[in-house]
Structure 1
Amino acid sequence: MWAYSECIWTAGKRRRGSDAQMSKLKQLLKNWKVLLVLITVILGMIIISPNPFRKGAAIRSVVENSPAYNAGLRSPEPNALPMSKEVITQVNNQKVYSANDYYQITKQLIPGTNVRLVTNKKEYIIYIPESNESAQPELGIRVYDAPTSNIRKGLDLQGGTRVILRPQENATPEQIDMTIDSMNERLNVYGLSDVTISKVSDLQGRQYIVVEIAGAYEEEVRDLIAKQGNFEAKIQNKTIFSGGNDIIRVCKTADCSGIDPTKGCAADSNGIWYCRFRFTVTLSQAAAKRQAEATVNLSVVYEPGGSEQYLNESLELYLDGQNVDTLRIGSELKGQPVTDIAISGSGSGRTMNEARENALANMKRLQTILVTGSLPVRLEIEETSSISPTLGEKFLRNTAVTFLVAIVGVGAVLFIFYGRIKISALIMVTGLTEIFLTVSFLTLLGWNIDLAAIAGLLAAVGSNVDDQIVMADEELYEAKEEKKKLSWKEKIKNAFYIITGNYLTSVASVLPMLFAGAGLLKGFAITTITGLTIGILITRPAFADVIEIMMKKE
């Protein structure tokens, strides 16, 4: 009888324990702080879009006027998400699983034949001319292993070249901005898409320009940067003016550039808005004379569907031998040696604001092209560094292994210290969540994850784990009698005072790194601040509620 009663009592105790666990789970699922963490994790998954099984060769760039370019392939946009880039999956019915597969297959291609190239977006038929003797791959495509997520890897992890340039001492911020625009325009002409050009400064206030090109070698980047842009404007293949002495001034001030006040913005019958821009350019007397001689015998034609008059030939703009734009010539310039000419164009959009922004962007691009013949300031190469793709892969693998060892080690120490698997597991899960959310946020910002960013990530998570230990200690181990009388809310409140102070101190300590080392430590500072902020605003409040629910009645 006694044994039977004991069995009933044991079974009842197990049911009550199971009911208690279910009750705690329901409390967690109803807690808004926990739900906030779950929602941000889901959003992070959408942002990163991980796909570890993705295969193929992603297109890094397409050389202009190459066989692939002529077949319709284009370089991806500079700021395109990694997972949105076009990926080659087949070449002449041969499967492509990696960049190495692509290069091995294209080595066997024969000039004078058609190549069938299949991507995840389209199928192309590319003809390889008999006379193709380019040093580039025969198709003119540069590829890399297809990315498996939207996380942007820095040069440390994917390979490439970084060059730090120092402008002349008296360069103004406007001149440096103009120089960056000119360099972007020039590098885009060469079909390079994974290019980052940024302006940074050190703690002494000295200005630098940092150029990072993924997948490029040091000699190649040095040649591109050292090469002065060759700008020419032609009519009927005759050079009218070029960059340098022919262009005296390109107006960028509000009094002579911007949205054309006589044309403004208007919507067509389909609801698409168009805005006209206008800016002036001052030419030398010699360039004005060449323009008059080239246009004196041209005919005047009317704009189709409009009343504006233009000459029957256009002004073709060339940058380093590549046609980058075409402009109509107003009839009033026919045979006239005018030094002050107006350049006009348009931009379109679904709304007036969008059309206005696009018009101004197009205007800025034209202004940049016109001054690209010679950079606004003299640049000196301060430092160059190059990392091979193979070494970048080793860095990534070693970092992953080190991180894994650190996670296991911290988890073991926590388990030994607390003797409770729930507490150590909760702290580790919270730490991993903070890492994921931080990387997701940096991906959303378009920030590259490099070694400096990884160091900042580990520093932030380490600080956050310390805060979680403080909170766990407040809840579990109270040595003083007066603290034993405090409620869990008061204990967590006390812990948050400590955590907030730690957060402010940590943020203040890394702020100088935003400017140290010519900005190369900025990744460490931004990642650390982001990780600490996510911890104190999102994961830490949820951790406090979860540990209170888990430890209640234990």
Structure 2
Amino acid sequence: MKLKFGWKFWMLIIILVLSLIAIRPSFENGVLVKGVEFNSSAYQSGLKAGEIIKEFNGNQVNSLSDYSEAISSLNMTEMNRISIKTKTSNAEYTFFAKGEPAIVAADIPKSNIRTGFDLSGGSRALVKPEKEITDDELANLISITENRFNVYGLSDVRVRPVKDLDGNKFMLVEIAGATPEDLRELIGSQGKFEAKIGSDVVFIGGKRDITSVCRFDPSCAGISECFSSAGQDVCNFQFTLYLSEEAAKRHAGITGNLSTNLSNSGYLDKKLDLYVDDKLTDSLFISEDLKGVVTTQIAVSGSGAGLAREDAIKDAQANMNKLQTILITGSLPFKLEIEKLDSVSPTIGEQLTSNILLVTLLSFLAVAAVIFIRYRQISLTMPILFTMVSEVIITLGVASLIKWNLDLASIAGILGAIGTGVDDQIVIIDEIKLGKIHGWKEKMKRAFFIILGAFATVFVAMLPLTWAGAGLLKGFAITTIIGITAGVLITRPAFSEMVKGVLKD
């Protein structure tokens, strides 16, 4: 059997090749730098997100497990000179780190296909401001929120605006590797920081009053002491922050009116009270030497507790990180309400991906069996399977090109588009084999009239889903539209040529 195909078939082949290029399967070794802590020694050395680590401290790195082994081999009790080579810039970075470096690493993606949080694992929150805001205000809120996550040390963060059918504005936050508690702490509260002496505000969080906050430097930030109290361990932390000149003068003006504490010599009669979201978190004594003095350097302290010493240290470090983040980024411009909070572990995400691939393969085989039973011709079954696979590749290629995150809804949209495609292909075969109209062109006109009618109906039906459910169904609508559009413009015409060649042979 010798088949001859026209330009429509070869256009499909070209589109498939371009789609595979867009997907770009990768077999590169190493680990991808997802993020570097701002102002850390690694950051200051020039290492940036997006580079690929090939060697770490003299150890060859081919995978994330190799990187983890290299980290665990570090001597955490002294300064270590760590040499990192990255392939992207062919550079070698040397920096000092006491303990684990402030680098977030991950396996190199095997392709350009991006997966959503329900396939890759992580947490997702649908957040709504307490009051009505404009699009510009929402964009500003998203910018500040992204900055807060970056400062906190969470790198794989996706924040985007969404709307529901009623026009209500939401912020959708997806974070890989974060817990729901992390999300709730970072966006569930406004994070308004105020330092007061009595009722007078000395300084607030953010760039206006605070020029710098010490982090990742043991000489000015860390755990100061641990002790046992009331059946649990307590650890205190302390770090230094630097005030702007205006805030320092404000501090001097307020302390200049204070008196010496008669019951606690060496200190003034009022404390520096620290408030987060209007709740008192700590009160610091003010040395009498600071009375009326313009000083830009302030020591901030706090504590953490736990049943064991290790738990207390972790709690203190987490509290210090949160407070430092609020001081650097300032408060969110609006109070937020978490409307919906979801979490999926990476393990479950991997299982879902495996199950999806298995179900897709079984559905392909089931379709092939049904088509073969109906027409009793393997030569008709193969073009349908080829077209189904082509539509999947083209849809994934377009999704990679536009950098769309594929979630469960998106996968459902791809499968739905494939189902619509199979139905269209059966229409074409039936019109050719069983149609009463004579003439190839007339049969194709009739078939494509039915196909275009179905396409228009599905396309219009998908449009409201792009913003329905606060955008949570957008993936389904996008991939369905991509799939059916590619089908009508590319795969259906090519399929008609393949079927024509088979039946005329």
How high is the TM-score relative to the length of structure 1? 0.64
* 2:487 is equivalent to residue 535 of structure 1: yes
Mapped contact 1:431–1:464 kept (Cα < 8 A): yes
Equivalent of 1:120 in 61, 68, 87: 87
Matches within 5 A, 1:67-466: 67-75=41-49, 85-110=50-75, 111-121=78-88, 122-129=90-97, 132=98, 138-190=100-152, 192-226=154-188, 228=190, 373-466=330-423
Mapped contact 2:58–2:83 kept (Cα < 8 A): yes
2:10 maps to 35
Mapped contact 2:46–2:93 kept (Cα < 8 A): no
Deviation at 1:242, TM superposition (A): 5.9
Equivalent of 1:46 in 11, 15, 21: 21
- Give the Cα separation in 2 of the matches to 1:123 and 1:393: 34
1:299 maps to none
- Give the Cα separation in 2 of the matches to 1:406 and 1:547: 22
Q: Which amino acid in the other structure matches residue 513 of structure 1?
A: L
Equivalent of 2:429 in 472, 477, 482: 472
Mapped contact 1:176–1:377 kept (Cα < 8 A): no
Equivalent of 2:459 in 495, 504, 507: 507
Matches within 5 A, 1:490-501: 490-501=442-453
Deviation at 1:185, TM superposition (A): 3.0
SS in 1 for 2:114: coil
Mapped contact 1:155–1:161 kept (Cα < 8 A): yes
SS in 2 for 1:74: coil
Give unmatched runs, 5+ long, in structure 2. Answer: 195-201, 210-244, 253-325
Deviation at 1:450, TM superposition (A): 1.1
1:300 maps to none
- Give the Cα separation in 1 of the matches to 2:387 and 2:59: 45
- Give the Cα separation in 2 of the matches to 1:390 and 1:525: 27
Structure 1 pair 289–59 and aligned structure 2 pair: CA distance change class (3 A): closer
State the Cα RMSD in Å: 3.1
1:62 maps to 36
Q: Which amino acid in the other structure matches residue 491 of structure 1?
A: K
Deviation at 1:246, TM superposition (A): 6.9
SS in 1 for 2:334: coil
Mapped contact 1:60–1:144 kept (Cα < 8 A): yes
- Give the Cα separation in 2 of the matches to 1:67 and 1:178: 30
- Give the Cα separation in 1 of the matches to 2:191 and 2:87: 35
SS in 1 for 2:115: coil
Structure 1 pair 167–228 and aligned structure 2 pair: CA distance change class (3 A): closer
SS in 2 for 1:409: helix
- Give the Cα separation in 2 of the matches to 1:468 and 1:433: 13
Instruction: Output one character per residue of 1:191-230: Cα deviation in whole Å (capped at 9) or x when no partner.
Output: 5443221111222332211011223222223333246568
- Give the Cα separation in 1 of the matches to 2:11 and 2:156: 35
Mapped contact 1:155–1:214 kept (Cα < 8 A): yes
Deviation at 1:405, TM superposition (A): 1.2
Q: Which amino acid in the other structure matches residue 65 of structure 1?
A: N
Deviation at 1:190, TM superposition (A): 4.0
SS in 1 for 2:165: coil
1:549 maps to 501
How high is the TM-score relative to the length of structure 2? 0.70
Structure 1 pair 509–518 and aligned structure 2 pair: CA distance change class (3 A): same
- Give the Cα separation in 1 of the matches to 2:433 and 2:390: 23
Deviation at 1:395, TM superposition (A): 1.3
Deviation at 1:45, TM superposition (A): 1.8
Instruction: Output one character per residue of 1:342-379: Cα deviation in whole Å (capped at 9) or x when no partner.
Output: xxxxxxxxxxxxxxxxxxxxxxxxxxx9x963333221
Give unmatched runs, 5+ long, in structure 1. Answer: 1-16, 76-84, 233-239, 248-285, 294-368
Q: Please say which of residues 205-214 and 148-157 is displaced more in the overlay.
A: 205-214
SS in 1 for 2:84: strand
Q: Which amino acid in the other structure matches residue 116 of structure 1?
A: S
Deviation at 1:173, TM superposition (A): 2.8
Compare relative contact order (CA 8 Å, sep 6+) and give the higher one, 1 or 2: 2
Structure 1 pair 178–496 and aligned structure 2 pair: CA distance change class (3 A): same
- Give the Cα separation in 2 of the matches to 1:226 and 1:406: 42
